A and B are shown apart, each in its own frame.
Chain A
Amino acid sequence: MKKIEAVVRLEKFEEVKEALKNIGYPGMTVTRIEGHGKQKGLVQQFRGREYKLELLPKIKIEVAVKDEDVSLFVETVVEAARTGEVGDGKIFVIPVEEVVRIRTGEAGEVAV
């Protein structure tokens, strides 16, 4: 099992959610976050002087995924979230030791 954390653009979130539903992952945990990558935010202007928006709003999606689904899952997110411009986000794949469904007490891949 793996946990996948995908940081995506606000405006791409609906597409990503839809694509994941289509490959059998309708459930997810979503957090509104702020951050910046190498490009360090956006330049804006106020009364003739520039300033940087260092931290930009993003959406973080967290899903636990069966090992055999990981590459499909990652490809699906990349395809749905990609614009080709800086700021498209990142995907992290993290090993998971155990998953337990609280309602039934089931553990392992059945609980994913």
Chain B
Amino acid sequence: MKNLKDEKLLRGGLIMRKRVLILVVLIALLFLGISGVVFAQDPSGAKTIKENPGAAVDYVWVLVSAFLVFFMQAGFAMVEAGFCRAKNATNLMMKNLMDFAMGSLAYMAVGFAFMFGKDVAGFIGSTGWFLRGSDYDVGRYLLYMFQVVFAATAATIVSGAVAERLKFKAYLIYSLVISALIYPIYGHWVWGGGWLSNLPFGLGHLDFAGSGVVHLVGGMVGLAGAIVLGPRFGKYGKDGKPRAIPGHSITLAALGVFILWFGWFGFNPGSTLSAHELRISVIAVNTNLAAAAGALAALATIYLKTKKYDIGMTINGALAGLVAITAPCAWVEAWAAVVIGLIAGVIVVVGALTLENLGVDDPVGAVSVHGFNGIWGLLSLGLFADGTYGNYTTEAPHVVGLFYGGGFGQLIAQVIGALVCVVWAFGLGFILFKAMDKLMGIRVPPEEELSGLDVKEHGTAAYSNFPYVEEIGA
């Protein structure tokens, strides 16, 4: 299987080398897709609403949630731009814009089929290419809309970890690969009826809204990217100690965290995929509490170390709480959400500083927020699940963790899922960035990095008419 992956990556690189437009490839694939036309199920929705008049409220609920999650793209864009220097703001806006564009197309072409198509051996989905054939159906389109914004969230997480030094065209190729392959195949294992969801421990590996599927995948691919790229110029002093490279707008970064927090109210509660699951109120409360506890714990942790009320780390802390509660949000009660958030806030601060000390430059803390806390979220489910809610349904069997007398079963399923996710996402991410580096080089030239990516890559500064002043610290 790995060989197949290598081949695909290589092919991706060669396509770029020959400067064949990606659009042309997509159109070619579209024609290939026509061969698989099957009679459509219910493209108008008439049959669906007749059979189930209550479907209307579910459709509205899921779509509104999807639109909220889409808005998280704006949140990521603001956090990343705010935490980076003004000379790279145009580049970050373009990355956040284009990963959604590339992701939407790639996920429509093949990603959705790999993730939710007819299962083959618990490994991969195999039907529904280009949303055609039997997938030309209101229910399937609804699922695509909700899932594509999740795929794009995983994709956009990485842009922060590789910020201020990755070539734009490498980012475009990366966006395509994560949305077409890395994300959907792992997603199939957990949400598409694949092997992880059928593990013989607990109820199988569970991840309600994607601490693993979305955030850990993004965090690990981001870690791989940051390692292959190496640190930005000036990040480490001559003594090898990490230095601060202050971002250009705390205001934008804070706006970003508010937008993300808001969007998460679609991300987690929307993942019931049904407004008839009244558990949505519990999920919303848990989501909110974990974010609040994460912010407070991160603030306290960094205050103990530096005696300053550091906003950058507090922003990361709120996001860490949100990431951690994403997997267990439907299966725990309020106090547990607070505990999960508090621990997330400590993890993110210690994780971010430790990673920097180890020589990995992650400009916005994406690996700690999404990677380390993605793992914590998956594990916490196996500890705190309280046995009041089932597998996306009120029906038994209910999910019970270690602290509620469920034994180690669910926890073991969570550990296995987390390990598999780390190996899969980091492994493929590392191969992808290494392969692109060999084929075309993924890091911008030093002079471009120093003058900023905006003008050299995109021809325009984010803030024309304003002088840039750079401070690099101690």
Contact = CB atoms under 8 A, between A and B. Distances in A.
Contact of B305 (A43, A44, A46, A48): A48
A52 B245 CA distance: 11
Contacts of B245: 46
Interface in B405-424: none
B471 A47 contact: no
A50 to B, nearest CB: 5
A45 interface: yes
A44 B473 CA distance: 9
Contact of B312 (A43, A47, A52): A47
B306 A50 contact: yes
B244 A50 contact: yes
Given A46-B246, A46-B312, A52 B306 contact: no
Nearest to B246: A46
Contact of A49 (B83, B242, B316, B471): B242
Interface string A45-62: 111111111100000000
Interface of A: 43-54
Given A47-B316, A50-B474, A51-B471, 12 more contacts: A44-B471, A45-B306, A47-B310, A47-B365, A48-B310, A48-B353, A49-B356, A51-B243, A51-B246, A51-B473, A52-B471, A54-B471
Contacts of A54: 471
B351 to A, nearest CB: 11
Contacts of A49: 242-244, 353, 356, 473-474
Interface string B335-355: 000000000000001001100
B335 to A, nearest CB: 29
Contact of A44 (B242, B246, B349, B353): B246
Interface string B306-318: 1010101100100
A78 B466 CA distance: 34
Interface string B216-257: 000000000000000000000000001111110000000000
A51 B474 contact: yes
A39 to B, nearest CB: 15
Given A53-B471, A54-B471, A48 B246 contact: no
